[in-house]
Structures are given as C-alpha cells and as structure tokens.
Amino acid sequence: MTTNRYTLLQRLLHWLIALIVFGLLFAGLAFWALGYDGLKGLVGEDTTNTLFMAHKSFGILLLLLTLLRIVLRVRTPAPPYDPPLGALERLVGGGIHLLLYVLLIGLPIGGWIATAASGYPIQFFGMTLPGLVGENKELGEMLFFYHGLGGLIVAVLVLIHIAAGLKHWRLKDGIMTRISLP
Ligand code: HEM
Ligand code: HEM
C-alpha cells in the first residue's frame, strides 16, 4: 500500500473549511433556536451583533475558499485509491462529497441573497458588500427557510462523512492519511 495523498494545500483547505463549517452550523443553531431577540437576552446586543457579523463574514470566506478548493481539485484530481475502493463505497462517498461541494457553494449564496432581501447589510469583516437584490421581505423569509434546511442537510451529510472517516481511521486502510495534515 502506498500513501496517495491530496496536496498539502488541499489538505489544509479541507481542515480549515471543516472548522469554519462547524462554527457556522453552531452559530446557525443558536440563531434558529433562539432568534435575534432570544440571543440578545442571553448574551447581550453587542455579542449577538458580532455573532451575526461573524456568521456572514465566515460564510462568505467559506464560499471563496470552496471555490478555490474546487479549482485546485479540477487542476489536481484526487489521488488514486490504493487498494482500490469498492464500486458502492466510491459511489456513496463520491456522491456525498459532490453534494457537500454543491451545498457549500449554494448555502452562502442563498444566505447572501436572503440577508439582502430581508434588508440586512452584507457584512464581510470590516466591509459591507453589495446586496445583489433589492429588499423583498417575502423572498427573504422563504430563502431563510431554505437556508436553514440546507444547513440541516449539511449537518446530516457531515455526520455521515465523519462516521465514514472514523471507520477508515480505525481500519487503518490509508483513506484518512489521504487528507490528514501530518
Ligand atoms: C464540516 C466538516 C467537513 C467537510 C465539509 C468535509 C468535506 C470533505 C470533502 C468535500 C471531501 C472530498 C475531497 C475531494 O475528493 O475533493 C473530503 C474528504 C475527506 N474527509 Fe472530510 N469534511 C469535513 C470533515 C471531516 C472530518 C471531521 C473527517 C475525519 C473524521 C474527515 C475525513 C475525510 C477523509 C478521510 C477524506 C478523504 C476521503 C477520500 O479520499 O475518499 N472530514 N471531506
Ligand atoms: C456554508 C455557509 C453557511 C451555513 C452552513 C449557514 C448555516 C446557517 C444556519 C443553519 C442558520 C439557521 C437557520 C435559521 O435561522 O433559519 C443560518 C442562519 C442565518 N444565516 Fe447562514 N449559513 C451559511 C452562510 C451564510 C452567509 C454567507 C450569510 C450572509 C451573508 C448568512 C446569513 C445568515 C443569517 C442572517 C441567518 C439568520 C437567519 C434568521 O435570523 O432567521 N449565512 N445559517
């Protein structure tokens, strides 16, 4: 068995993106469970505003990092599996990876448009980016519903993905080494 690995940059991006996704889902869970006013009552107005600002900023950063990751992935395809994976594992694993890429592009764009349509600013760290669409509360509400649903689907896919990763880690079959940092 040889160690076929993604490039160091691809591996770094995998773990950086994973960290950001966990943070976004955690903040999203708080928004969903408590809402703006509930959070404000719990942690104060300043912290709540910072959390919303951070969610939007890191969400847009995630969009940029995912686009970069996809460009790198097209230019440097995945290393071959050695020993080869079974057809079913390839199909399910590859399908989940593809879905994750699609959602990690679609969710931030949806969040961006939902935020603008609801009349809130698109904060990207110190900057305010253009809203792309005019105010339309109904559209904003509908898009936020799908934004939350998309977040839930990402959470489920990530759980399955982690379970598969842990299984391969325990099997010591070299799959974890493909993406691990050291
Ligand atoms: C939010 C968190 C995560 C996301 C969004 C994510 C996403 C992805 C994606 C899209 C790939 C496919 C890479 C490609 O072929 O282009 C991948 C590969 C991989 N991930 Fe994750 N990942 C996350 C967390 C984790 C965690 C916590 C583990 C460890 C248990 C892990 C283990 C792996 C492994 C072993 C691979 C290589 C799979 C292979 O080569 O077939 N991932 N990840
Ligand atoms: C992959 C990236 C993202 C993930 C996984 C994610 C996930 C979530 C989740 C799970 C929620 C809770 C759903 C709800 O309250 O209905 C949420 C809420 C929210 N997201 Fe995101 N999000 C992402 C990117 C973004 C971006 C880029 C923006 C804006 C530029 C954004 C703006 C918001 C706002 C304003 C809320 C609060 C909605 C409300 O108060 O109802 N999100 N996000």
Question: Which domains, and CATH codes, for the chain?
Answer: 8-179 (1.20.950.20)
Instruction: Report which protein residue has its CA nearest ligand 1's atom 19.
Output: 179
Instruction: Report which protein residue has its CA nearest ligand 1's atom 18.
Output: 179
pLDDT the model gives residue 1: 47
Residue 3 confidence class, pLDDT cut points 50, 70, 90: low
How much is the pTM? Answer: 0.96
E strands along the chain, which residues? 122-124, 127-129
pLDDT digits (tens, 9 = 90+) for 41-81: 999 999 999 999 999 999 999 999 999 999 999 999 999 99
What is the C-alpha R_g of the chain?
18
